[in-house]
Amino acid sequence: MNLIIFGPPGAGKGTQADKIVTEFNLNKISTGDLLRDEISKNTTLGKEIKKIIDKGSFVTDETINNLIKKIFSNNENHNRLIFDGYPRNLNQTKNLDHLLKKNKQSLTCVLSLNVPEDVVVKRILGRQVCTKCSLIFNKFFNPSNKKNHNCGEQFLTTRSDDKEEVIIKRYKTYIIETLPILNFYKNLDLLYEIDGIKDIDSIYKEIRQILHSLDG
């Protein structure tokens, strides 16, 4: 099977994607990972990508699409892909559709974790990491206490870029950019929308039910 998983920042799609990969033996494709991998290989394309990123610019659709094309040339990925962070716009969506057809593959489904803006803000703003034991807490949903954390409050830190105005901007950008893509897959009857407010295990239970019904 081939899947795409969508979700705004803080939706927990990375966590769900990792669970899917483990149970269904898929390969997760993240554009961020692909870019970093190409740079680390020091290829001609990798050098160009590094120049673009070092300038603070965005990598073009053409570059991203070429990296995705390489994925399909590897037989180990045949009908075993889950895309996380791709496609990001309609151009990339149509490119993926073309590559699937060209390689005689198909998309099994598209999963979209729906989480409202206020919950996303609380999830990200409330995020705390212990510098001593690396456990992650959330002061709104899963606060640190004496029962679940022995290190002490003084070791809890927050990320410097977790600011409300930044989070809201990223959320709105995601909604604007993703809506046309979701509508594209909805028209193809491939879209499954999931309530992303529920706890991790409940969300995954729903996802696995969908995937087993389609895989069976």
Listed by start position, the domains of the chain span: 3-116+165-215, 127-161
* HEC profile of 79-113: CCEEEECCCCCHHHHHHHHHHHHHCCCCCCEEEEE
Residue type for 160, please? S
pLDDT band at 108 (very low <50, low <70, confident <90, very high): very high
Residue 78 has pLDDT above 90, yes or no: yes
Output the average pLDDT for the chain.
91
Q: Is the pLDDT of residue 101 over 90?
A: yes
Q: Is 44 a residue whose pLDDT tops 80?
A: yes
pLDDT band at residue 216, thresholds of 50, 70 and 90? low
112 or 10: which carries more pLDDT confidence? 112
Specify the CATH number for 3-116+165-215; select among 3.40.50.720, 3.40.50.300, 3.30.70.141, 3.30.450.80: 3.40.50.300
Q: Taking residues 189-194, what's their average pLDDT?
A: 97
pLDDT class for 33, splitting at 50, 70, 90?
confident
Task: Give the mean model confidence (pLDDT) for residues 108-120.
Answer: 95
Q: How confident is the model at residue 183 (pLDDT cuts 50, 70, 90)?
A: very high
The whole-number average pLDDT for the span 85-90 is 90
Q: Tell me the mean pLDDT in the region 53-79.
A: 88
CB of 38 closer than 8 Å to CB of 68: no
Please give the average per-residue pLDDT across 178-195, as a whole number.
Answer: 96
pLDDT, tens digit (0-9, with 9 covering 90-100), for 140-172 = 888 999 899 999 899 999 876 668 888 898 899
d(CA 46, CA 183): 33
Q: What is the pLDDT of residues 197-209, one digit of tens each?
A: 998 899 999 999 9
What pLDDT, in 10s, does the model give residues 5-26?
A: 999 988 988 889 999 999 999 9
CA–CA distance, 185 with 207 (Å, rounded to integer): 17
8: tokens are: 């705004």
Please state which of the ranges 21-25, 53-57, 80-84, 188-192 shows the lowest mean pLDDT.
53-57
- What pLDDT does 162 receive? 66
